[in-house]
Structure 1
Amino acid sequence: MLVWINGPFGGGKTQTAHELHRRLPGSVVCDPEHVGIGLHRTLPASLRGDYQDLPTWRRGVAEVLDLAASRWDGVVLVPMTVVEPEFLDQTVGELRRRGHDVRHVALLASATTVRRRLRERSLGRALAAATARSGCAPGESFALARVEHCLDRLRGAEFAEHVTTDDLGVAQVAERVAGVCGVDLLPRSGPVRGAVQRRWTALRHVRLR
């Protein structure tokens, strides 16, 4: 099984994927953002934009995840925001056409909640610095600027299943996703250990490109 965890930037995809990974023995996290970062680093700065607009990214993600899902015995967890129906079809849809059991879950929340989470994680400034070279206004966060657009797109039927996360903690969100996908999780970590694990996950995934 491959579980694609969609959602807006700041919607909790990465934290949810790693919570599932900790509580789902044999699972692995495969992050398509690494493919995009590699493409950015290969291109001159003046040619860098949204890497999802590159057909190479969409084809590459489908190929890499096809390999992972074919060769890995456990569940493959994929945290990635994709809000264009065409791009969803070229990634999730392509993997399904290749015969894989792909479960797609979109994490939704109010725009206010998503913005608060972005600021709390200090991702606003980090993403602004990362995207200032790709055409955003100076100091503007790409993530914050696209909150409404992402949420509007992800509410569409083609992006179901939907899990609303406003009033849920990370462990609860992971449990909802596991329920949708029909997998059983190990018990939660204690509150202190869980908080440390989530903080470490957040620190590892703040990237300045």
Structure 2
Amino acid sequence: MLLWINGTFGAGKTQVSHEIQRRLPGSHLADPEHFGAGMHRMLPKEQRSDFQDIPLWRTGTREMLDQIAKSVPGVVIVPMTLVNPGYYQEIIGGLRELGHQVSHYTLTVPDRELLLRRLRSRGETRNGWAALQYDRCATALADPLFAEHVATENLTVPQVAEEVAARAGLRLLPNRDNPVTAQLRRWRVQLRHVRFD
């Protein structure tokens, strides 16, 4: 199974994906953003835009996930904002055509102010790139194509992970974190995903 975690920037995709991977033995986390970031680094700065618009990113993501899913015995977790219906069909639809079970869940944050607080907690500004994408992404992701929706407003990261896993028919190991280890784990995941380009 491929478990695609979608949502606006700041909805918690990466944290939730790492929590599921931590508590689901045999699972593997495959983040297509790393592929896109590598493509950006190869391009001259003046040619960098949304890497999802590069056809090679879409075909490469689909082909890599196909290869990974064939070689990993457990669930492959994919945290990635995907709001373009055509790109959704090209990647997720393409993976399904290849015979893969793709369970897709969109994390929702209905309150823009809550999302901005989350983004600020990870060092991003109110007028930063991620915050400016909220309206565009939230509107697109409300489309039934991007269901199944999982509201995150009053849930912790472990609770959201448990909700997604339950809907996908997966059983996570019990959460043995205490508040200190949970916070340290979130910071570590956050630091690992800081990009400087």
The answer to whether TM tops 0.5 is yes
TM category (shorter chain) comes to over 0.9
Residue in 2 aligned with 1:165? Answer: 152
Measured after TM superposition, the shift of residue 114 of structure 1 is 1.2
Note the 1:119-138 alignment, pairs <5 A. 119-124=120-125
Residue in 2 aligned with 1:133? Answer: none
Residue in 2 aligned with 1:207? Answer: 195
Give the whole-Å Cα distance in 2 for the aligned partners of 1:146 and 1:176.
25
Give the whole-Å Cα distance in 1 for the aligned partners of 2:141 and 2:189.
24
| Conserved 8 A contact 1:111-1:151 | no
Q: Secondary structure at the match of 1:187?
A: coil
Measured after TM superposition, the shift of residue 124 of structure 1 is 3.4
Q: Does 1:179 align with 2:180?
A: no
Pairwise CA RMSD: 1.1
Q: Does 1:74 align with 2:61?
A: no
Give the whole-Å Cα distance in 1 for the aligned partners of 2:125 and 2:30.
24
Per the alignment, do residues 124 and 69 of structure 1 end up closer, same or farther by CA in structure 2, a change over 3 Å counting? farther
| Conserved 8 A contact 1:111-1:147 | yes
Measured after TM superposition, the shift of residue 203 of structure 1 is 1.2
Q: Does 1:194 align with 2:194?
A: no
Residue in 1 aligned with 2:53? Answer: 53
Measured after TM superposition, the shift of residue 43 of structure 1 is 1.0
Give the whole-Å Cα distance in 1 for the aligned partners of 2:26 and 2:124.
30
Measured after TM superposition, the shift of residue 190 of structure 1 is 2.3
> How does the TM-score come out when normalised to structure 2?
0.96
Residue in 1 aligned with 2:114? Answer: 113
Note the 1:32-51 alignment, pairs <5 A. 32-51=32-51
Measured after TM superposition, the shift of residue 170 of structure 1 is 0.2
Q: Secondary structure at the match of 2:153?
A: coil
Q: Secondary structure at the match of 1:37?
A: helix
List per-residue Cα deviations over 1:55-79 (Å, max 9, x = no partner). 1110110010000111110110000
Measured after TM superposition, the shift of residue 155 of structure 1 is 1.0
| Conserved 8 A contact 1:123-1:206 | no
Measured after TM superposition, the shift of residue 87 of structure 1 is 0.8
> How does the TM-score come out when normalised to structure 1?
0.91
Give the whole-Å Cα distance in 1 for the aligned partners of 2:158 and 2:129.
27
Percent identity over the alignment is: 48
**Partner amino acid for 1:3?**
L
Measured after TM superposition, the shift of residue 149 of structure 1 is 1.0
**Partner amino acid for 1:113?**
L
Report runs of 4+ in structure 1 exceeding 4 Å deviation: none
Gaps of 5+ in 2: none
Measured after TM superposition, the shift of residue 44 of structure 1 is 1.1
Give the whole-Å Cα distance in 2 for the aligned partners of 1:9 and 1:35.
17
